[in-house]
Amino acid sequence: MKIYIKALAVTVTLFTWTGLSYGWSCPTHSFIAHQAGLSSPDTACITDAARYDNYNLLVQFHYHNAAPGTVVTPQYIDQYTVSKREYIPKGDPGAKPLEIMVPADSGVLYWKIVDLYRKLKATEFPSEYNYALMTISHLIGDLSQPLHNFPYMNEPASDGKAYPKEGSWAGPKEVHGAFDNRFDEIMPAIGKARMANSIKVSSEDDLKREIAKIANASIALANRCYSENQRGMKAEEVAAQVASSIVLLKAVIGDTRRVVGE
């Protein structure tokens, strides 16, 4: 069974914005969601806006700063999760501590996709399912953006080290934005630009293997662009990245829709 990326005119006026952190553009996220089968694909953009409710915590669900040379495996994904910590409001030492879930410093994109998959499988309520689906649709899109799998500025990468040369290339808005918007440039004329095999996901183990494949392709492409005179993505490269997100999201939807009787 094969699927094709086809051109799509997407209405995104409600969910277009600029922000502190970058990712695929809203049209690209909507394209991925539409091709994967979401009935309201523009909702895949909402997750970017929701970050600002608690930016420093929520933004870390959108990326994983993989150190150069990282090879992602299912076991690797389990190493970068969230941990429960206690927070005491500043200036109020007598206050009851608040328990919050804090992501690993290098970002927990891979783990969060698995976490949302669990919720999709567990819920019996359409509203909860649709909320989780909206969020996982966005994050599976982020997974194929190469710079969401690469060192960022002077922030710690997955090995705890900073990579200032790589990070200072990937971090500035000019470079990151060029990656984010690259698919928009070819979307109107892409046609049947890339054919991809469909996949089946029926368990967390299946999902982790597929996440690892896309993550490793993203890491490899980011490192290749950096090493080749710090270039941008070629049309066929960005098409392949977007296709991989479509295929995975379609598989996740196919495995979980029956949970709420769709």
Q: Is the pLDDT of residue 195 over 60?
A: no
Q: Is the pLDDT of residue 4 over 90?
A: no
Chain segment 36-48, per-residue pLDDT in tens: 999 999 999 988 7
Handedness of CA 45, 220, 235, 252 (dihedral sign): negative
- pLDDT-derived band at 18, boundaries 50, 70, 90: very low
Q: What is the pLDDT of residue 88?
A: 81
Contacts of 8 (CB under 8 A, 6+ apart): 30, 31, 34, 35, 187
pTM above 0.85, yes or no: yes
Q: Contact 242/218 with Cβ under 8 angstroms?
A: no
Identity at 162, one-letter amino acid code: A
CA gap 179, 233 in Å, rounded: 7
Q: What average pLDDT score do residues 129-147 get?
A: 97
Number of other residues whose CB lies within 10 A of the CB of residue 144: 27
Q: Is the pLDDT of residue 70 over 90?
A: yes
- pLDDT-derived band at 59, boundaries 50, 70, 90: confident
Q: Contact 101/82 with Cβ under 8 angstroms?
A: yes
Q: What is the pLDDT of residue 38?
A: 94
- pLDDT-derived band at 52, boundaries 50, 70, 90: low
Domains, the chain, with CATH or none: 2-260 (1.10.575)
- pLDDT-derived band at 98, boundaries 50, 70, 90: confident
What is the overall mean pLDDT for the chain?
87
Identity at 51, one-letter amino acid code: R
